[in-house]
Chain A
């Protein structure tokens, strides 16, 4: 009896340590990756790196300014396409719920979040690049938009679901038409949660490299014209990291550092923002 009891205690303890080990593995990798990027990337960053365009391989100096601006441009245009579609469809799903169409769209959005980004790149290639006859920043935006739409849609739907029905009913009872109720009351009430979803989609797209391979393609010069190939940060990291030069590798680390800071900072800040909301 006593022996059996002690055995059970032992199993309990052993599993506790095992599971603590499991958590430690995840945390270890997080620390290892963040630390590595920090150590290798931060030291290379200076004003020139952020404001100059790339120099030919072998020369020293140069920066990634064109990729920074390019990434922002391409993702911004993608957001302009994705936000109205995502939020509009979410409004349809949540505010006109009698429709079976709504449930189908929500389901489809969830399936679409599982589509690999490289397949979305191929899609944008066949949809935009082939008919257009060349790589372009616009094609990159289309592929990013396609990544962002399901994320925006799902998070917007969740945000709208949290708005209490009593608010809608109070508004309708005052004789306010439904569309004014939605635009004037439901959307402002859920604006913080809506913004969170948009920002998360934004930061997700900002880090995607795979669809850029055959849409925006990359460019080593200044280009603000979205109908031409344009440089983006994730793709630049890929090119530099897999390239043969030591200096390129250092630049890839530094660019990774910039990307990581932007992406993680957005996620941390949005979360803090959202937490403020739930505490109210």
Chain B
């Protein structure tokens, strides 16, 4: 008996464990798989290569200016192409002030819209309300700039003149009110541009709040707003903060609209009405006029600083949203 089983088991074992000579078809299949894998992997690696190239190329382009000014570039306040003096502090501050003002105006609007869509709108109506907001997000920056320059700036100018006449003693309103373009106009156009982005991310995050928790609050006799204020918002605060940070990143990197309505002069901010460059608008408006290599290199240096700031902000937002959703949501596109 024992010998019999051994005899029958042996070919079976061999069939299972030993590699048979591979047929030509199968070899082709394996070869195809391997090639396919390698090509896909190569393309994935190419994305990494591009990112590395981006950083290296910016550093290479800015190298002359980095060698010339070093880190003092970041704290100096003069921009004088004739005297070959370049530094970035006023534009860094200008960019940040405009972006934060835009957040200050835009975040309440975005959160209000997102809460309204998530908790006060019947499901069938949601797309109808979300749709225009998403359309707004799809409009190119240059058209915001165009609209801002011709439609919004005259209105803002009138408001500025009125504010200066009545509240001119207040330091924020104590600037030149004649231009219309300036910090205020730039901030408002940025607000319009980042609101749809923050709204749609905040909406996605608020929809992840467990329904049972809100219904529990309502069952205990709370009003809807109390349920939102005491349960939904605390539950999703990390993700909402991530949405705000993402909006900040967009506001800081935004170029064309700010170039057109921000009022481009290289100066420190003193009031809301000052025309002030941001980093992106300085690059956009002076790059093609830069006549010598140190000038070009300094502009690329500013681009490098801008890149660094947006990358930091983007990493922070990624981390917050990832922490919130544990890697489940991917809505950063």
What's the minimum C-beta distance from B140 to chain A, rounded to whole angstroms?
Answer: 3
Q: Is B115 an interface residue (CB 8 A)?
A: yes
Q: How far does the alpha carbon of A30 sit from the alpha carbon of B109 in the complex, in Å?
A: 14
Q: How far does the alpha carbon of A104 sit from the alpha carbon of B41 in the complex, in Å?
A: 12
Q: How far does the alpha carbon of A102 sit from the alpha carbon of B333 in the complex, in Å?
A: 18
- Could you tell me if B287 and A214 are in contact, using CB atoms closer than 8 angstroms? yes
Interface residues on A, range: 35 or more
Which of A33, A88, A178, A214 touches B144 (beta carbons < 8 Å)? A33
What's the minimum C-beta distance from A116 to chain B, rounded to whole angstroms?
Answer: 3
- Could you tell me if B57 and A127 are in contact, using CB atoms closer than 8 angstroms? yes
- Could you tell me if B333 and A151 are in contact, using CB atoms closer than 8 angstroms? yes
- Number of A-B residue pairs, CB cutoff 8 Å, is 275
Which of A36, A107, A116 touches B255 (beta carbons < 8 Å)? A116
**Chain B residues near A89 (CB-CB < 8 A):** 40, 43-44, 46-47
Query: Main SS of chain B's interface residues?
Result: helix
Q: How far does the alpha carbon of A217 sit from the alpha carbon of B287 in the complex, in Å?
A: 11
Given A25-B109, A88-B40, are A126 and B300 also a contact pair (CB < 8 Å)?
Answer: yes
Given A12-B224, A91-B40, A252-B146, are A117 and B48 also a contact pair (CB < 8 Å)?
Answer: no
- Could you tell me if A19 and B147 are in contact, using CB atoms closer than 8 angstroms? no
**Chain B residues near A29 (CB-CB < 8 A):** 136, 192, 195
Given A12-B223, A114-B314, A177-B29, are A26 and B143 also a contact pair (CB < 8 Å)?
Answer: no
**Chain A residues near B32 (CB-CB < 8 A):** 177, 179-180
- Could you tell me if B311 and A115 are in contact, using CB atoms closer than 8 angstroms? yes
Q: Is A195 an interface residue (CB 8 A)?
A: no
Q: Mark B241-262, 1 if CB is under 8 A from A, else 0.
A: 0000010011011111000100
Q: Is B113 an interface residue (CB 8 A)?
A: yes
Q: Is B284 an interface residue (CB 8 A)?
A: yes
Q: Is B108 an interface residue (CB 8 A)?
A: yes
- Could you tell me if A23 and B113 are in contact, using CB atoms closer than 8 angstroms? yes
Q: B82-90, B269-277, B302-310: which one contacts chain A?
A: B302-310
- Could you tell me if B140 and A84 are in contact, using CB atoms closer than 8 angstroms? no
Q: Is A237 an interface residue (CB 8 A)?
A: yes
Mark A residues whose CB is within 8 Å of B.
8-9, 11-12, 15-16, 18-23, 25-27, 29-30, 32-33, 36-37, 40, 84-85, 88-89, 91-93, 95-96, 99, 101-102, 104-105, 107-120, 122-123, 125-127, 130, 146, 149-151, 153-155, 157-158, 177-180, 182-183, 203, 206-210, 213-214, 217, 234, 237-238, 241-242, 249, 252-253, 256, 259-260, 263-264, 267-268
A-B contact pairs, 19 of them (CB 8 A): A22-B112, A26-B136, A26-B195, A29-B195, A37-B146, A101-B44, A110-B333, A111-B315, A113-B332, A116-B254, A122-B58, A122-B303, A126-B57, A150-B333, A177-B30, A209-B142, A210-B284, A234-B256, A256-B142
Given contacts A25-B195, A32-B151, 14 further A-B contacts (CB under 8 A): A16-B116, A19-B115, A22-B109, A29-B192, A91-B40, A108-B47, A111-B314, A114-B313, A118-B284, A126-B60, A210-B256, A241-B145, A241-B146, A263-B140
Shortest Cβ-Cβ A-B pairs, 8 listed: A207-B140, A116-B253, A22-B112, A88-B43, A179-B36, A114-B314, A177-B29, A92-B40
